[in-house]
Amino acid sequence: MTEPLLTLQGISKRFGGVVALDNVDFDLRAGEVHGLVGENGAGKSTMMKILAGVYSDYDGEMRLNGELVRFSSPANAQARGIGMVYQELSAFQHLTVAENMFGRNMPMRAGFVDWKAMNRDAQKHMNALGLDIDVTLTMGSLPVGNQQLVEIARVIFSGAKSIILDEPTSALSPPETRRLFEFMATLKAQGRTMVFISHFLDDVLEVTDRITVFKNGKHVAQLVTKETSKHQLVELMIGGDAETLKPLYESSTAAHADADPLAPAKADVLTTDGLTKLGAFSGISMALKQGEILGLFAFMGGGQTQLARCLFGAEPTDSGRILLDGQPISLKNTTRARAAGIAFVPEDRRSALMLEKEIFKNITIAHLSKLVPFWFKETRELGIAEEQIKNVGVRPPKPHLHVGALSGGNQQKVVLAKWLTQTPRVLILSEPTRGMDVGAKEEVITIVRRLREQGVAILLVTTEPEAILSIADRSLVMRKGQITAELSGRALTKEALMKNA
């Protein structure tokens, strides 16, 4: 056994009343690639931020080469050789690669920046890492994959011997991912240590030596990658959830039981045929039926968000067809989609609501042309809005209040209400319950179920398996822009969703 480079023992961290990490152990050996997996909120990122010096107030102890340490800042951690590459790249897009690498420590000559020396040194460093990237290009001109590589190179350049990679592959295409793995192999050969945090279990199994599994802020397992299967990882990540998820499973299987036996086949409403948007998704063929809730599960960056937007005409596609009732339809803009009876609830409420405007105006806006004559009075509009406010249960039920004054859950109800003034044919929901408390979630789910009863074809796009398990009749799974599975009935389980994503 090699002596660990770094050990963390009994680490606990709370945010207000929420326990993010509960007495967790973790160790890192010199020269290994260590995978860290767990569901959203399992505490992976919190742990790594403690390691990288972002959080310095925690319980427990950290030892670096046997010496007790407590990093006071990221700079402090970096000075001791630990650097982190964040999921959201934080590079300066308008500056060159070299400028990004040097940051504030640019080489100076006679009071001026010594560009020649800077570019030369940066290029030398790049080449030493086996990277063929021109350091005089601006960061923004590089593909995301290369930006990621530069970011890693930058962290190494500023002295990191151990590098923490937070979801490095989530935004990368398959060839870019390959390139990253090759780069990681180079770094490993140079004796560097890496922590690899990822949702993509295949990636984790491919590049790591050992894997640590977190669940609900606790350490549940440490495994040697060679002896581990994907199935085993998923079990460990969600294990024990079977009990808490039981009601959700039951409600969803009940829905299947209703739908399945001998019922007449429901008509396809919205179908896609080889729909492709370069850099986002490709070859998507699917059929959404009347009166069903079709789940679309993927991890962040799986291309599902763009697919949802394309189905509402909010973004152009590159090839493939969208058909409504079997007829090809050109969704050139959102107005076309709305006219065709497609409704869309985007993942970000700020891009769905005019927060400073009144509730009633936000509700009537989508179908204004059908609700009021060209010259209108607000009284008629108010009546329609009040009906919807009651329908979806907006609280407080005051149509003149501006939407920004409502809680998140109630704002989301307004977004739904906007599309219910005319019963939609197709309803595309992107993350409809994310970040909501349990009560509001239940209410939104109830509304969506009611719409299914009315025959609306509903596409539920989400990164939360629970949302799919609780209401979807069947589900597609997307990974890196492609559909990897269709699950229904007993095969629709959290495990299956996560394994295929």
Partner 1 sequence: MSETRATDTTAPAWGPAVAWVRRRARDLAPFATLVVLVVFFGATTDSFFDLVNLRNILAQVATLAVVSTGITFVLLCAEIDLSIAAVSMMTGVIASILFGAVGVPGWVGVLAGAGAATALGMLNGWTTTRVGLPSFVATLASMQIASGLAQYITRGNIVYTIPDILKYLGGSYIGDTDPWRLPVVVVAGVVVLLVGHVVLAYTRFGRYIYMTGSNREAARLSGINTKNIVAACMAICGLCAGLAGMLNTGRLGSAQSYGLDDMLLDSVSAVVLGGTSLFGGQGGIKNTAMGLLIFGVLNNGLNQLQLDIYMRLWVRGVILLVALVINIYALRVKAAPAK
Residue with Cβ nearer partner 1 (190 or 369): 369
Distances (CA, A) of 481 to 89, 172, 200, 430, 500: 20, 10, 13, 16, 12
The 10 Å CB-count burial string (b at 16+, else e) for 121-147 is bbbebbeebebebebeeebeebeebbb
Number of CB atoms found within 10 A of residue 151's CB = 22
DSSP state of 138: B
CA distance 459 to 396: 29
HSE-CB for 197 with a 13 A CA cutoff: 22
Q: Please, what is the minimum distance in Å from the beta carbon of residue 299 to partner 1?
A: 23
Q: Rounded to the nearest whole angstrom, what is the least distance from the CB of residue 337 to partner 1 in the complex?
A: 7
CB of 372 to partner 1, least distance (A): 7
d(CA 441, CA 310) in angstroms, rounded, equals: 26
Angstrom distance (rounded) from CA 460 to CA 338: 18
**Residue partners of 146: CB distance under 8 A and separation at least 6:** 133, 176
Nearer to partner 1, 229 or 335 (CB): 335
Closest CA to 252 of 287, 296, 295: 295
Tokens, residue 275: 């729909």
What is the distance between the alpha carbons of residues 85 and 177, in angstroms, rounded to a whole number?
15
Q: How far is the CB of 94 from partner 1 (least distance, A)?
A: 17
* Sign of the alpha-carbon dihedral angle for 37, 40, 43, 44: positive
Q: Residue 69: CB partners within 8 Å, gap ≥ 6?
A: 62, 63, 80
Closer residue to partner 1 (CB): 15 or 376 = 376
Nearer to partner 1, 340 or 436 (CB): 340
Nearer to partner 1, 184 or 451 (CB): 451
Kindly state the smallest distance separating residue 33's Cβ from partner 1, in Å.
Answer: 40
Closest to partner 1 by CB, 188 vs 336, is 336
| Residue 59 · residue 97 · CB < 8 Å | no
What is the smallest separation between the CB atom of 373 and partner 1, expressed in angstroms? 8
Residue 331: how many CA atoms within 13 Å on its side-chain side?
A: 30
Question: Residue 114 or residue 315: which is nearer to partner 1 going by CB?
Answer: 315
- Minimal distance, residue 501 CB to partner 1, in Å: 26
| Residue number with CB closer to partner 1 (428 or 467) | 428
How near is the Cβ of 353 to partner 1 at its closest, in Å? 6
CB of 360 to partner 1, least distance (A): 10
Question: Given the complex with partner 1, which of 36 and 307 has the nearer CB atom?
Answer: 307
**Overall residue count recorded for the chain in this entry:** 501
Query: Cα–Cα distance between 369 and 422 in angstroms, integer?
Result: 11
Residue 327's identity, in one-letter code, is Q
CB of 257 or CB of 405, closer to partner 1: 405
Cβ neighbors of 339 (< 8 A, separation 6 or more) are none
Minimum CB–partner distance for residue 226 and partner 1 (Å): 48
How is the beta sheet containing 210-215 ordered, strand by strand? 82-85, 162-166, 193-197, 33-37, 210-215, 218-224
What phi, psi does 85 have (nearest 5°)?
Answer: -110, 115
Beta carbon of residue 487, minimum distance to partner 1 (angstroms, whole number): 29
Nearest alpha-carbon partner for 126 in 167, 157, 100, 103:
157
Closest to partner 1 by CB, 159 vs 396, is 396
> Which residue ranges make up the site for partner 1 (CB under 8 A)?
312, 314, 333-335, 337-339, 344, 346, 350-358, 361, 365-366, 368-369, 372, 374-377, 396, 398-402, 405, 418
What is d(CA 7, CA 61) in angstroms, rounded to the nearest whole number? 8
Q: Identify which of residues 70 and 400 has a Cβ nearer to partner 1 in the complex.
A: 400
Report the nearest approach of partner 1 to the CB of residue 431 (Å).
14
Q: C-beta of 338: minimal distance to partner 1 in Å?
A: 3
Q: Which is nearer to partner 1, 137 or 314 (CB)?
A: 314
Nearest CA to 199 among 42, 39, 14? 39
